């Protein structure tokens, strides 16, 4: 079942601007992850934030997590044409090992205009 | 470089055919997953496995089965392909205690005619 919902569905900005995408989810989580997908390809893992973390950085990426609001945001700073892709949030409700499968949102399609 | 390899990028099959989608990972991961991705519906989990010969149903297992005879290989089987199974199929893997995200294959775009 779909848990994460990204907002907006589509976003178009100029190169060099910052891009912000939001994700809301419904149930308690162990961690939340963001993935990128270039057109017609597989997903690439970008960053994982645990439920006890509030903010995490990786290069030009900044992720925040607000468990009280069940929401997360992904900020891409100084965007580049190569950032054009779809971005998905995914929630992991596991508390232990093994697999339950991540639950993905429907994605935000980001277009960076040169 | 770690890899998840899906055997085909594009497949065209006829209705009623038995279809095998193969996925191999070289990272010694315990967990493996099959998702399908459709416009407007996002990624939906079909089946997953956390060990050899173990399998668990995901959200949409109907019409599919899986096989995991070796740790590195996870096969998705469409017993009798139907047009509503036309989709992008994505395989992924992660360690048992995976806390660093999934590694995905490049996907197989299956068309059933």
Chain B residues in contact with A105 by the CB 8 A cut-off are 42
Task: State the pLDDT at residue A97.
Answer: 56
- Give the chain B residue nearest A51 (alpha carbons): B99
Residue A2 has pLDDT above 60, yes or no: no
A5: Cβ contacts below 8 Å, ≥ 6 apart: A23, A24, A25, A105, A106
Cα–Cα separations (whole angstroms), residue A34 to A12, A76, B56, B109: 19, 12, 24, 23
Residue A100 has pLDDT above 80, yes or no: no
Residue B66 has pLDDT above 50, yes or no: yes
Kindly state the average pLDDT of the residues A63-85: 97
CA-based nearest distance A88→chain B, Å: 9
- Give the chain B residue nearest A5 (alpha carbons): B42
CA-based nearest distance A48→chain B, Å: 7
CA-based nearest distance B79→chain A, Å: 23
Mean pLDDT of chain B: 94
Nearest CB to A1 within list B35, B50, B59? B59
Query: Could you read off the pLDDT of A13-50 as tens digits, one per residue?
Result: 999 999 999 999 998 888 999 999 998 889 999 999 99
Mutation site, B45, B97, B101, interface A, largest A CB count within 10 A? B101
Binary contact (A42, B42; C-beta < 8 A):
no
Per-residue pLDDT band at B108 (split at 50, 70, 90): very high
Task: State the pLDDT at residue A1.
Answer: 44
Residue A77 has pLDDT above 70, yes or no: yes
Task: State the pLDDT at residue A96.
Answer: 59
A44 vs B: CB within 8 A? yes
Kindly state the average pLDDT of the residues B71-84: 97
Residue B2 has pLDDT above 70, yes or no: no
Query: Could you read off the pLDDT of B91-105 as tens digits, one per residue?
Result: 999 987 766 789 999
Bridge partners (DSSP) listed for residue A69: none
Chain A residues in contact with B96 by the CB 8 A cut-off are 97-99
Do A7 and A22 form a contact (C-beta atoms < 8 A)?
A: yes
- What distance in Å separates the CA atoms of residue A35 and residue A47, rounded to the nearest whole number? 7
């Amino acid at each position: 079942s779909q848990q994460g919902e990204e907002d907006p569905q589509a976003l178009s900005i100029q190169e060099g601007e910052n891009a912000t995408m939001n994700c809301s989810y419904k149930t308690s989580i162990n961690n939340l992850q963001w993935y990128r997908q270039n057109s017609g390809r597989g997903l690439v893992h970008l960053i994982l934030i645990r439920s006890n973390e509030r903010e995490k950085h990786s290069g030009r990426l900044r992720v925040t997590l607000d468990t009280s609001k069940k929401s997360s945001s992904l900020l891409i700073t100084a965007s580049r044409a190569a950032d054009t892709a779809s971005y998905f949030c995914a929630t992991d409700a596991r508390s232990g090992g093994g697999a339950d499968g991540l639950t993905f949102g429907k994605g935000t399609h980001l277009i960076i205009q040169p | 470089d770690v890899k998840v390899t899906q055997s085909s990028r594009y497949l065209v099959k006829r209705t009623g055919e038995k279809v095998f989608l193969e996925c191999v990972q070289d990272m010694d991961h315990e967990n493996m997953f099959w998702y399908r991705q459709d416009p407007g519906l996002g990624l939906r989990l079909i089946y997953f496995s956390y060990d050899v010969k173990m399998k668990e149903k995901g959200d949409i297992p109907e019409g599919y089965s899986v096989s995991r005879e070796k740790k590195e290989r996870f096969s998705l089987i469409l017993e009798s392909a139907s047009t509503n199974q036309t989709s992008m199929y994505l395989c992924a893997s992660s360690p048992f205690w995976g806390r660093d995200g999934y590694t995905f294959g490049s996907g197989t775009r299956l068309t059933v005619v």
